[in-house]
Amino acid sequence: MKIKLRGATVTDETRAEHNQQTRMPILIGFFVVMAVLLWLFTHVGTFFGIPSPEDVFGTFAEIVDYDFDSDGNVDSQLRVQSTDFWPDNDSGRAWLFGAICGAFLSGYFRPLRYKRPSYVFWFLAAFDLLYGWHLTTMFLTGHLFLYLLLHGPHRKNTELLSTAFGMLATLLTWVETTELKYLLLYMSAGGATSWAAFNYVLNPVLTSQHQAAKLIPAIAMHLPFLAIYGGIYYELASGVKWDKSLAVIIFMYQWARLITYHMDYRDGEVPKDLPLLHYLSVFLSPAVIPNYRYAPYLAQGYTYLESSFYNNDKNSIITGGLKLWSIAIFYLIFGEYIVDCFKHYMVSQWNVPVYKFISSMV
């Protein structure tokens, strides 16, 4: 049974028309909203000598019993977690918002063929700034391995990519314990081994009619899920806690998206010779960084993204996003106050109890 998450097919000509107009009010609106977000959730206001949100809304916050962070910014669940490069989440969020701005400008002004690579670039830049090159390379290497299994046999640059995979995997394994001259030697050997394995062992199998041609990619797509079971078994058998890196954790949380992508691939919806950057754009964007735990399933699958990519005028798409952001900011600042006013009115005028949470009723 085919499972399709797609809308109407959008032609390249239609996408080009939707990408033509540039409107200055849209740009101004975007930067105004981003400036508000930076002021609410980062140290940018302090850097420019602007009063903090607590200084502006302090009295109002006392009315609604709202707490700010210790640094005077608005309390937020948007956390850039597990980074040792920055002292607090405010700094991490500042870099994340910067990457979002860069991705927006690249997506707004660049030609269509450069938009998807731009999103991948800004993800890698932000991830490197937040977590370092080691975790960034680890995450990228995992996706390169899956890409080689699915699309490598149908691409002309398989030799180069398979060699790069072997060199990167060797680098990640030995970089912390090996001198540079030996590391380069190991990387060369790893690249040659990977090149031989993919071109003379895996690729012939993957392009054959053998059952393994379907089984190997299917198992590979379940690696994040299987790794969880492996970690559980390791802890039970050894009694030692399995210490996972953040790159592995994010890769695990992308399991649902990988499965959906594989469904599209299996049903023939994904081009066999899909370029690497096009593949990576399905999984790597700045939005992945704060949402890897809470929304790994958003915009998943190739067909869904392909059918929604510039299916409307870009200014219309951005306007819709700005409206959502504006509603979210309004609710964040005034939502508690509105709820408290409603609660007070219902109790004082109608003697009807109102509960904010179901747990308060129990």
List the beta bridge partners of residue 74.
Answer: 68
Whether the Cβ atoms of residue 153 and residue 161 lie closer than 8 Å to each other: no
Residues 30-73: tens digit of each pLDDT = 999 999 989 888 888 888 888 888 888 776 666 555 667 777 77
Chain-centre distance for alpha carbon 287? 4
Instruction: Report the C-alpha gap between 310 and 19 in whole angstroms.
Output: 7
Whether the Cβ atoms of residue 204 and residue 224 lie closer than 8 Å to each other: no
Instruction: Report the C-alpha gap between 262 and 214 in whole angstroms.
Output: 11
The answer on pLDDT for 146 being more than 70 is: yes
The answer on pLDDT for 308 being more than 60 is: yes
How much is the pLDDT for 335? 79
Task: Assess whether 241 and 97 both reside in one domain.
Answer: no
Domain count along the chain: 2
Task: Assess whether 25 and 93 both reside in one domain.
Answer: yes
256, 272, 301 — which closes off a domain? 301
301, 326, 349 — which closes off a domain? 301
CB-neighbour burial class of residue 321 (10 A; exposed 0-12, middle 13-18, buried 19+): middle
Q: Which of residues 337 and 215 earns the better pLDDT score?
A: 215
Whether the Cβ atoms of residue 105 and residue 121 lie closer than 8 Å to each other: no
221 confidence band (pLDDT: 50, 70, 90): confident
Q: Which of residues 147 and 46 earns the better pLDDT score?
A: 147
How much is the pLDDT for 117? 94
301, 328, 350 — which closes off a domain? 301
Residue 306, in any domain of the structure: no
How much is the pLDDT for 203? 92
Residue 90, in any domain of the structure: yes
Residues 106-122: tens digit of each pLDDT = 989 999 999 999 999 99
**Structure letter (DSSP) for residue 199:** I
The answer on pLDDT for 355 being more than 80 is: yes
The number of C-alpha atoms within 13 Å of 308 and in the hemisphere containing its C-beta is 12
Whether the Cβ atoms of residue 317 and residue 23 lie closer than 8 Å to each other: no
Percent of the chain with pLDDT over 70: 87
The answer on pLDDT for 6 being more than 90 is: no
Mean per-residue pLDDT of the chain: 84
Instruction: Report the C-alpha gap between 254 and 246 in whole angstroms.
Output: 12
Task: Assess whether 50 and 150 both reside in one domain.
Answer: no
How much is the pLDDT for 61? 60
Residue 53, in any domain of the structure: yes
Longest dimension (CA), the chain: 80
Task: Assess whether 151 and 296 both reside in one domain.
Answer: yes
Averaged pLDDT, 79-104: 78
300 confidence band (pLDDT: 50, 70, 90): low
Residue 15, in any domain of the structure: no
How much is the pLDDT for 118? 94
Sign of CA dihedral 96, 100, 101, 106: positive
Residue 117, in any domain of the structure: no
Residue 11, in any domain of the structure: no
Q: Of 170-174, 247-251, 257-261, 315-319, give the lowest mean pLDDT range.
A: 247-251
How much is the pLDDT for 1? 43
Return the closest-CA partner of residue 96 out of 138, 139, 125: 125
Task: Assess whether 106 and 189 both reside in one domain.
Answer: no
Residue 59, in any domain of the structure: yes
Task: Assess whether 188 and 317 both reside in one domain.
Answer: no
Task: Assess whether 296 and 322 both reside in one domain.
Answer: no
Task: Assess whether 267 and 344 both reside in one domain.
Answer: no
Percent of the chain with pLDDT over 90: 34
Task: Assess whether 40 and 87 both reside in one domain.
Answer: yes
Q: What is the pTM of this model?
A: 0.84
Interacting residues of 240 by C-beta distance below 8 A, sequence separation 6+: 234
Range of the domain at 355: 20-110+312-362
Residues 160-176: tens digit of each pLDDT = 999 999 999 999 989 88
Residue 197, in any domain of the structure: yes
Instruction: Report the C-alpha gap between 66 and 131 in whole angstroms.
Output: 32
Chain-centre distance for alpha carbon 359? 33
Q: Which of residues 6 and 124 earns the better pLDDT score?
A: 124
Task: Assess whether 164 and 52 both reside in one domain.
Answer: no
Instruction: Report the C-alpha gap between 341 and 235 in whole angstroms.
Output: 51
Task: Assess whether 319 and 257 both reside in one domain.
Answer: no
List the end-to-end C-alpha distance of the chain, in Å, as a whole number. Answer: 45
Chain-centre distance for alpha carbon 5? 19
How much is the pLDDT for 259? 86
**Structure letter (DSSP) for residue 200:** I
Averaged pLDDT, 293-313: 75
Whether the Cβ atoms of residue 244 and residue 231 lie closer than 8 Å to each other: yes
The CA angle 31-101-89, to the nearest 5 degrees, is 100
186 confidence band (pLDDT: 50, 70, 90): very high
Q: Which of residues 73 and 220 earns the better pLDDT score?
A: 220
Angle between helices 276-283 and 133-150 (to 10 degrees): 120
Task: Assess whether 138 and 252 both reside in one domain.
Answer: yes
Instruction: Report the C-alpha gap between 288 and 260 in whole angstroms.
Output: 16
